[in-house]
Amino acid sequence: MRLFHYTTASKLAKILASKEIRVATAFVAPPERPVAWFTFSPEWEGTATPGILDAVTAKLRSLTFDQLVSIETPARIEVSESSAPHTWSDFRKLARCPKKTFRVALEHCSKLDLWRVSFVPVRFDSWLAIEVFHNGQWRDALENAKRQDEGSDRD
């Protein structure tokens, strides 16, 4: 089976430059251990959706997938199952996961049994595909970039 690492196109550019999916360190405080997150789900993972600062309340709020699509391009990297061998249960034990992480996952209706993690970066040579969400479907990122480039040549 294959796993997906969900991100956005702007973050994908940084991932491509580093040639690895790094462990996430944002909001990770000792003694918790950072991990790289993956899921078996071919559908967008809600916890990968960035928040946005609400102009009215000045609080961070979650975006829906459709809202995200309107302001940023969703992206994903497909890897083999062996790239992230640890289950949610493993993560809770090995990473010293705080209850807050569990609450966030449930708020986003995540299917925890589909999650997998890696405690080490997942290198480029183990990636199987790189895709972006364009015109309502997942497309090969390199092919999509080529198509967009060809379209700009016609202008």
Please tell me the total count of domains within the chain. 1
Of the candidates 116, 45, 126, the residue with the CA atom closest to the CA atom of residue 85: 116
Contact between 25 and 34 under an 8 Å Cβ cutoff? The reply is yes
The mean of the pLDDT values for the chain is 84
Q: What per-residue confidence (pLDDT) applies to 155?
A: 47
Q: Tell me which residue range forms the domain holding 105.
A: 2-153
pLDDT over threshold 90, residue 8: yes
Per-residue pLDDT tens digits for 91-106: 888 877 767 766 766 6
Contact between 49 and 61 under an 8 Å Cβ cutoff? The reply is no
Per-residue tokens: 13: 């550019």
